[in-house]
Structure 1
Amino acid sequence: MNLNQSIQRYAVVLAMIAIAVASRLLPHPPNFTPLAAMCLFAGAVTVTPRLIAAAVVVAMLISDAVIGFHGLMPAVYAALLANFVIGQKLVGQNAGALRVVGGSLLGSVSFFLVTNFAVWIAVYPSTMTGLAACFTAAIPFFQYTLAGDLLYSGLFFGVFALVANREQSALRTKLAMQPARIAE
């Protein structure tokens, strides 16, 4: 990949981050945001996702400054950033639909477990009954997390694949139109 392609790829990912964070400020069902899917996508398509991970944290901090800070932010941020690792290790750059769906499902489940475990520690009694009550109360929210993650993952990876296919097609057309070189 040349420098121009790298810059374009990072620009696309950063634009997706801006859109994803802005979507937190619009009315939406609980946990139905593109943030986890965006992290999964960025982990899969960027060679060095540290810059993107830092951008996500900064963008989350900015949007949380508008929405309101809370004590569970470290758990939420950690669960979101785990999607980078899932994107890198499970999905990868040339991911098919099965890997994207699998990564999205794993991200949704890990977000549910991590954030609700943090809620249990912060809010509920430190008993097995408290743990069960916490996770039971969280079940209705999981459908939104799952639906949002699957929808937005499909959207991000689908658009990216369409753009990549269009670029490859344009390159093939350009190469086909060049005159053949005669070996001397």
Structure 2
Amino acid sequence: MQMTLSNLDAVQLRAWHQSLTAQLGPMVASFEAIHGYPPGDNEITLAGPGHRMAARELSGHSAVPPSLVAFYSVIGDVSLGDVGNGYFIHSPENVLEELTREGPAYSSISCDQVAVVFASDGGGSLFAIDRQGVVCKSQGASRDVDFVPAAQDLVTFLDLLSRSVTDFIATGQAGHA
């Protein structure tokens, strides 16, 4: 059963984690019988001390919206390698490292020009969140291409990700995020 988030408070995010984790258990258990090869990593990790420390550091960067910091204060990372082509929300440590090394991503199409790459899919597309909280998707497998809106905010993006899991389990097809 898909759970819809209404905000990014800790209670809602933990419930989102529990809902997706409950769906992933049976999916992983039956994956090899259905697809003919063993499943990869499919899990949502709750934030530990290192994740929360990195989230606090991210909060001091002007390109990082409060919604991403709120997310990382509860969820450490998401790995859904077998849902469609795969979906991955990078750990806050990885986001901080990339932001420090590469700086923010820049886009000229419909998104704030400054955005923070925080997720990817198995097809090479990147997801970035701009300062207003809009989630944008790269038009190619690079930070140097244009990004277009994928979700109006992080709550909507997480709901699309949840729907992708639900649909993949039901039909073998994903693709909402």
Pairwise TM-score range, normalised by the shorter structure: under 0.3
Which structure's residues are more often strand, by fraction?
2
TM-score by length of 2: 0.27
TM-score by length of 1: 0.27
Bigger radius of gyration: 1
Higher relative contact order (CA 8 A, sep 6+): 1
